[in-house]
Amino acid sequence: MTPARQNIVMKPTLDNVKVMVEFFHKSTIATEKLKSNPMDMPKLRLKQDCVIRWNSTLYMLKQVLESKDAIISTLAIINAHVDALSQEEWEVLQETCTVLEPFEQVTVEISTESYVTASKMLLICRKSQPTTKHK
């Protein structure tokens, strides 16, 4: 898949996820139904992404994926005016998380240290290459 094609697929999917998460944040009824859903979902609110923190988008996507069944059933139960994601969109989310996870690990690694040496950066980059090469 070319980068241009990925952007065409990812942008609408990401927009749909943001609309869905925003809906749950604005609707107390939807949030309560989601929290009371017995589908092994942790009792917490869906995270919204933050424009200045790229990894907040990853965290939002991961949480939405973890809560997939509960979200789908809640949207159906309350007859929401928000479209559930298609199977293709769920797959795009999964692939996106898989691609972004190595970058998140590098971000965490670099962020935890006040001074990162060039040799450590080379090791981190080399470690990340096999993961990102085939994506």
Question: Whose CA is closest to 128, among 97, 112, 105?
Answer: 105
10 touches 96 (CB < 8 A): yes
**Higher pLDDT pick, 9 / 49:** 49
**Does position 1 have pLDDT exceeding 60, yes or no?**
no
pLDDT digits (tens, 9 = 90+) for 70-119: 899 889 888 888 888 999 999 999 999 998 888 888 888 777 777 767 77
Two tokens, residue 83: 């479209």
pLDDT digits (tens, 9 = 90+) for 42-73: 556 788 877 778 889 999 999 999 989 889 98
Residue 78's Cβ-count burial label (10 Å; 0-12, 13-18, 19+) is middle
Distance of CA 63 to the CA centre of its chain: 6
Q: What is the pTM of this model?
A: 0.75
3 state DSSP class of 79 = coil
Question: Whose CA is closest to 17, among 53, 66, 78, 52?
Answer: 66
Confidence of residue 21 (pLDDT cuts 50, 70, 90): very high
